[in-house]
Amino acid sequence: MSFIEYGDTIKDGDTAIVFLGHESMFPVKVQHGTVTQTKYGVIRHSTDLIGKKYGSKVTCSKGGWVFILHPTPELWTMNLPHRTQILYSTDISVITMMLELKPGSIVCESGTGSGSLSHALIRTVAPTGHLYTVEFHQQRAEKAREEFREHGVDHLVTVTNQDVCRNGFGVSNIADAVFLDIPSPWEAIGHAKSALKAEGGRICSFSPCIEQVQRTCLAMEEYGFTEINTLEILLRVYNVRTISLQIPDLGKAAEDNSGTGFDSSNPSNQGSPGANLQQGTVQFKSGVPLREMVGHTGYLTFATKS
């Protein structure tokens, strides 16, 4: 396995995703002789994982079972250890498309943070592209390097530990795209411009606050960027449910006196299908929005250097 290439079977040293059920999963580093505890019991790597097919059902010691999944940047994003606030796949998708990333693209990113976006960027630009990522926090930069090594993608990424606003990306005239997720992106626009190829490229800045966007847009204009465009993307997830709505008693059943009238005051009848209920309720499938959703992550500002 690797984050950039699918493999069929689980191998020693792989990072795999243990899937326990609805939205409940965690990453595991596969190692001979190691065991992993789950609520369904123990998973023994040597016998339960290594050599098995990705996507297999693995029975744990208590008889419960889990699925073992091949890692992808999206699964990693949902399960990675947070060292910072991270970008999620909804924003990442739009960033990737709007920056026009593809195999061979050279990308600059700052900050590296927890590496959520980094993994997605590396996946997209592999096998011939490269990511130059800058993180001013030494410990985070180190941790990111370690993860990239573990995930078999370190040949596609260079992590630099410096302040992007002061020292830039450490490269110039090389990038097809630049991404900024830092508190003061307007201070890095000049560096972004010089990191981009002379022939041009795309830039994106992610900021939670509109005041940050304002200053960034002004800086982009000042540095001659065109096509400046700010947008926001929101994910709406729906639960698929079978809903039954009761038909109210309008006195019709009594009048009809058909003998199969329903008793709406008896809640125990609900949920169990029966002749009574078929008359008394209407069933349908619905996509029900979650009670709470993410209302704002950040504004994405895109622009072109041409």
Residues 241-260 that bind another protein (CB under 8 A): 241-244
Q: Do residues 153 and 122 lie in contact, with contact meaning Cβ atoms separated by under 8 Å?
A: yes
Q: How far is the CB of 253 from another protein (least distance, A)?
A: 23
Site string for another protein, 102-121 (x = CB under 8 A): xxx---------------x-
Nearer to another protein (CB atom), residue 158 or residue 244: 244
Which one of 13, 51, 183, 200 is in contact with another protein (CB under 8 A)?
200
Which one of 31, 46, 72, 79 is in contact with another protein (CB under 8 A)?
72
Q: Which of positions 203-242 make contact with another protein (CB under 8 A)?
A: 210, 213-214, 217-218, 228-242
Does 116 count as an annotated binding residue? yes
Is residue 69 a contact point for another protein (CB under 8 A)?
A: yes
Rounded Cα–Cα distance for residues 246 and 279 (Å): 9
The two tokens of residue 303 are 């622009």
Q: How far is the CB of 100 from another protein (least distance, A)?
A: 5
Is residue 264 a contact point for another protein (CB under 8 A)?
A: no
Which one of 41, 61, 83, 98 is in contact with another protein (CB under 8 A)?
98
Does 154 count as an annotated binding residue? no
Q: Backbone phi, then psi, for 24, in 5-degree steps? A: -120, 110
DSSP letter (8 states) at residue 45: I
Q: In angstroms, what CA-CA distances link 28 with 34, 134, 238?
A: 10, 27, 29
Rounded Cα–Cα distance for residues 32 and 195 (Å): 44
DSSP letter (8 states) at residue 267: G
Q: Which of positions 132-191 make contact with another protein (CB under 8 A)?
A: none
198-204-207-208 Cα dihedral, nearest 10 degrees: 170
Nearest to 253 by CA among 245, 261, 241: 261
Please report, in range form, the residues annotated as the binding site: 114-117, 135, 163, 181
